[in-house]
Structure 1
Amino acid sequence: MCGLRLAATHYVRGMMISNAQTLVGPSSAWDALVRLGAADGSAVHPHLRRLTAGGAGQRNLSDAVHALCSVHGHHPGMIADVRARGVQPDATEWLGDAAAGFAGERGYLAQLTAAVGPLPSTPGQAVSESALVAERHALEMLARSERTGCATGAAAALVLDWTAIRRVLDVAAERFGLAVPPSTFPPESETAAAIAVLAASPGCERAILFGAQQLFAQHRGLWSLLEARASARGDL
């Protein structure tokens, strides 16, 4: 219980990191964003690796699906919110394609949530619920950012990071007997080209990478919370 409370407390306190350092250099903004994802994204978190390594317990998979649905399963979703705000109009077409792709992922999440059954009983549930509410609020803040490029960067990071998250969903689908649908996100080349155009100035590039860092921070906190919950249940 103490470990879960500590993880949730760090999670809430770290929702928006104010001193993030961005990577701006001679390579493209997308390359820099990919490097950020490789260093700080979901794929490198030990709990996600544990879930996708084979033999993950059903309760841990169920818990992950429920948490992801709680954070990302709402309509219309963060990417559509970014598009609706229109802070970076040149991103509208790509954001529309990405939002359409994420609508399919949201439907997949809904099917999975029904398939995995009820949320596993875990000590400190109220603490976890508060942390998930804080996560949703942080994503809403990112989507509503008025800093040109920040929300777009967060949306691009979500598309990139979803590749790792999708592996967890697919493992859960196979475990619980659900068909795995194909992803309908835009091809990575399309996203890379869009970000290259949108990062037209150093200021926009910094904002894009800052937004991406914030998104990766949210997901790291989520996986740490799920890891603490698994430990509290004795499932690690």
Structure 2
Amino acid sequence: MPETNPIPSAQASLVDHVREHGSHSAAHVQRMLTDFDSVSGADIADLAHFLCILHGRHPGVVDHAANKTADIAARKWLVRAMEAFSAERAFLTKLTVAAGPISGVGASDQSNATVLAQRKALDMLSQSDRDGCALGASFALVLDWHAVRPLLDKVAIKLGVEPREAILPDSDITLDLSRAVNQSAAIERAVNFGAEQILAQHRGLWQLLEARSKARQAA
């Protein structure tokens, strides 16, 4: 995974970067949030199914990062994040079951294989021995999930699943910690790299879901 489009250093905000380059910026996410009544059952099934493939299994990104992090403050944050994502995994599973099976979009549909490859990339990223990489991935995942969760809540209500309030670490706390752990230029680069890779995988997922939706509409 080459280091491209790095997060600016100095006083730049990781929160702002995630908002600009993460799920919030995805056209497919914005379309579903602003006009959810027009979202098809197939699109909902896709959303639940593929997010569950990417983040619905244990151990996940945050769990792996906890095994790679010795910093006391970071570990406290990771414990809270692990608890939050344990609940989010259960929520994703409920949504996936309620949404039902996905439908294919062609004889050569490789969507499952594509997202499984994304999952493998995230596993490798979050188990990296590079100091700060797994932690940066965890920061970005938690921050970006704040943008994903409102959409999942809409899906839950439509499917008759009671949405429970997320217990994710606060964005300000996450931002403060991300700045505190950058004790050297090398660690800062690793944190930024891990964060950017999470955002890249999420952008890829939304592009895939948008392409599947358009393929069904064109069929």
Check whether TM > 0.5. Answer: yes
What is the CA distance between 1:18 and its match in structure 2? 3.2
Q: In the aligned structure 2, how far is the partner of 1:227 from the partner of 1:164? A: 17
Residue by residue, what CA displacement relative to the aligned partner does 1:147-205 show, whole Å, maximum 9, x if unpaired? 11111011000000001111221111111111110001122232223222211222222
- TM-score scaled to structure 1, two decimals? 0.85
Task: Name the aligned partner's letter for residue 19 of structure 1.
Answer: T
Pairing of 1:76-225 with structure 2 (within 5 A): 76-86=59-69, 91-124=74-107, 126-225=109-208
Q: In the aligned structure 2, how far is the partner of 1:42 from the partner of 1:235? A: 25
Q: In the aligned structure 2, how far is the partner of 1:87 from the partner of 1:124? A: 48
Aligned match of 1:41: 22
Preserved CA contact (<8 Å) 1:51 1:60: no
The one of the two structures with greater contact order (alpha-carbon pairs below 8 A, sep at least 6) is 1
Preserved CA contact (<8 Å) 1:63 1:226: yes
**Paired residue secondary structure (1:180):** coil
66-75 vs 118-127, which moves further: 118-127
What is the CA distance between 1:17 and its match in structure 2? 4.1
Q: In the aligned structure 1, how far is the partner of 2:74 from the partner of 2:105? A: 41
Q: In the aligned structure 2, how far is the partner of 1:121 from the partner of 1:175? A: 22
Preserved CA contact (<8 Å) 1:147 1:207: yes
What is the CA distance between 1:90 and its match in structure 2? 5.0
**What is the root-mean-square deviation of aligned Cα atoms in Å?**
1.9
Aligned match of 1:11: none
- TM-score scaled to structure 2, two decimals? 0.92
Q: In the aligned structure 2, how far is the partner of 1:143 from the partner of 1:206? A: 15
Q: In the aligned structure 1, how far is the partner of 2:7 from the partner of 2:170? A: 25
In the alignment, structure 1 segments of 5+ residues that lack a partner are 1-15
The percent of aligned pairs where both chains have the same amino acid is 36
Q: In the aligned structure 2, how far is the partner of 1:201 from the partner of 1:42? A: 29
**Shift in CA distance, 165/66, structure 1 to aligned 2, threshold 3 Å:** same
**Shift in CA distance, 85/126, structure 1 to aligned 2, threshold 3 Å:** farther
Q: In the aligned structure 2, how far is the partner of 1:140 from the partner of 1:81? A: 8
- The answer as to 2:77 corresponding to 1:57 is no
Q: In the aligned structure 2, how far is the partner of 1:87 from the partner of 1:213? A: 22
Preserved CA contact (<8 Å) 2:69 2:135: no
**Shift in CA distance, 62/176, structure 1 to aligned 2, threshold 3 Å:** same
**Paired residue secondary structure (2:166):** coil
Q: In the aligned structure 2, how far is the partner of 1:125 from the partner of 1:92? A: 44
Count of aligned pairs between the two proteins: 217
What is the CA distance between 1:91 and its match in structure 2? 2.0
- The answer as to 2:7 corresponding to 1:19 is no
What is the CA distance between 1:137 and its match in structure 2? 0.8
Q: In the aligned structure 1, how far is the partner of 2:107 from the partner of 2:146? A: 30
**Shift in CA distance, 90/111, structure 1 to aligned 2, threshold 3 Å:** same
**Paired residue secondary structure (2:13):** helix
177-186 vs 32-41, which moves further: 32-41
Residue by residue, what CA displacement relative to the aligned partner does 1:114-137 show, whole Å, maximum 9, x if unpaired? 111111332256411111111011
Task: Name the aligned partner's letter for residue 41 of structure 1.
Answer: G
Structure 1 runs (4+) greater than 6 angstroms displaced: none
